[in-house]
Amino acid sequence: MTLTVLTAVLDGVRIGIRCEDGRIAALGPTVTAEPSDHMVDAGGAPVVAPLLNGHTHAAMTLFRGSGGERPLMPWLEEKIWPVEAKLTDEDVYWGARLACAEMIRGGTTRFWDMYWHPEATARAVADAGIAATIGAPLFDHDGNAEGMKESALRSLDQLSELGPAVRPALAPHSIYTVSEGSLRWIAELSAEREVPVHIHLSETEREVEDCVAAHGLRPAAYLDRLGLLGERTILAHGVWLDQEELELVAMRGSTVISNPVANMKLAVGGVFPYPAARAAGVAVGLGTDGAGSNDSLDLLADLKLFALAQKHAAADPAAIAAGEAWEIATGARAPLLGAGKPLTVGAPADFLLLNPDSPALGIGELASDLVYAASGAEVDTVVVGGELLMRGGELPGMNEIVARAAERARRLGL
Ligand SMILES: [Zn+2]
């Protein structure tokens, strides 16, 4: 059925949007609805692009609140990895369904994921009606490089057959959990299959020190030596990238995803150097990281922390403009992430209507309000491919999804 939205507000102008076959067929002040259309009266709601979560581990909603007060390595070794060894497809499916539901509620309609049982996450994404680039986490620090390679090839094949909403990626966990030989193999496979690589990099200072001690190079230069720093590479975190590394990352065309809340929660002790990254020309996106280390998937809430951390670290309130921060959260400053085009005729019919009565949005510049006053709670309506996924802030099936995910978390003893 054709969806027609009337009385939405785009850049201060009251417009209608007609969606056909997943795309915007008409947009402007004179658009009207046909009698057979599904008509939505936006009531003066601002219409904006959806958000894009550049780094998460969706099914880790199951681990929400179980982290304690640990730093990164003890958190992984004591709390996360032992439980992950017990996960089943159904655990991951319901954990990821909950993540998708939370992301839709907060206005995120595309994400980049790295997690076990990736085909279960893919099923959750398809059932939720959104889109994701998904990779199985690759580790060989247990010495099983052959097992890792088999898992990489199997998941690439499985994820390649799941239709346009799911794109496969190779997701080596990090330079400290994957050997040099396997990282080179992943670089070759990525080039051969033309699939992106999604890796954690330069999250802690310890990682940098260990990399220099083991390889005589800082992390980005080490990845470059292995052929893994390229235009299909996503680097999650990048907190400790120095000036030379930022220039190298920009030159190779790789993308950095900043995850300010997870960085603060795990107390990595630094802030991603965004002003230097921007000056070098690095493509930048924003991520929540998993709910195990955030614990929310509300990217709009995280956007405020991202902008504030940048201003604070730079001791400069002009370190980042609100409009620029908003573009980062929608994926508009990192083409690899796969964000939709600006809202124009012919673009995919993906957009949000914000609550027209929200006190956070009624006064002031919209971009500034979105970054500093809003959270995901201001998202009223979510449209993806011309389909209405949420209307009036109510996501159909939410209660069941929460109950099923909670049941799976209990099963795991979380
Ligand atoms: Zn992560």
Q: What is the pLDDT along the chain (414 residues), one digit of tens a residue?
A: 799 999 999 999 999 999 999 999 999 999 999 999 999 999 999 999 999 999 999 999 999 988 667 888 888 888 888 999 999 999 999 999 999 999 999 999 999 999 999 999 999 999 999 999 999 999 998 889 999 999 999 999 999 988 889 999 999 999 999 999 999 999 999 999 999 999 999 999 999 999 999 999 999 999 999 999 999 999 999 999 999 999 999 999 999 999 999 999 989 999 999 999 999 999 999 999 999 888 999 999 999 999 999 999 999 999 999 999 999 999 999 999 999 888 999 999 999 999 999 999 989 999 999 999 999 999 999 999 999 999 999 999 999 999 999 999 999 988
**DSSP notation for 381-414:** EEEETTEEEEBTTB-TTHHHHHHHHHHHHHHTT-
Radius of gyration from C-alpha coordinates of the chain: 21
How many angstroms separate the alpha carbon of residue 123 from the centre of ligand 1?
21
How many angstroms separate the alpha carbon of residue 239 from the centre of ligand 1?
13
Q: How far apart are CA 379 and CA 394, in angstroms?
A: 10
Which residues are placed with Cβ below 5 angstroms of ligand 1, an ion? 289
How many angstroms separate the alpha carbon of residue 175 from the centre of ligand 1?
13
How many angstroms separate the alpha carbon of residue 120 from the centre of ligand 1?
18
Beta bridge partners of 250: none
Evaluate whether 372 touches 304 at the Cβ level (below 8 Å).
yes
How many angstroms separate the alpha carbon of residue 54 from the centre of ligand 1?
10
Evaluate whether 175 touches 207 at the Cβ level (below 8 Å).
yes
How many angstroms separate the alpha carbon of residue 191 from the centre of ligand 1?
23
In eight-state DSSP terms, residue 31 is: -
How many angstroms separate the alpha carbon of residue 160 from the centre of ligand 1?
23
Q: What is the pLDDT of residue 300?
A: 97
Query: In this structure, is the dihedral angle defined by the CA atoms of residues 150, 154, 157 and 160, taken in order, positive or negative?
Result: negative
How many angstroms separate the alpha carbon of residue 381 from the centre of ligand 1?
28
How many angstroms separate the alpha carbon of residue 268 from the centre of ligand 1?
13
In eight-state DSSP terms, residue 169 is: -
User: In a 3-state reduction of DSSP, which class is residue 78?
Assistant: helix
How many angstroms separate the alpha carbon of residue 28 from the centre of ligand 1?
40
How many angstroms separate the alpha carbon of residue 345 from the centre of ligand 1?
36
How many angstroms separate the alpha carbon of residue 56 from the centre of ligand 1?
6
Q: How far apart are CA 202 and CA 207, in angstroms?
A: 6
How many angstroms separate the alpha carbon of residue 356 from the centre of ligand 1?
34
How many angstroms separate the alpha carbon of residue 272 from the centre of ligand 1?
15
How many angstroms separate the alpha carbon of residue 399 from the centre of ligand 1?
27
The type of residue at 2 is: T
How many angstroms separate the alpha carbon of residue 200 from the centre of ligand 1?
6
How many angstroms separate the alpha carbon of residue 69 from the centre of ligand 1?
17
Evaluate whether 208 touches 176 at the Cβ level (below 8 Å).
no
How many angstroms separate the alpha carbon of residue 261 from the centre of ligand 1?
11
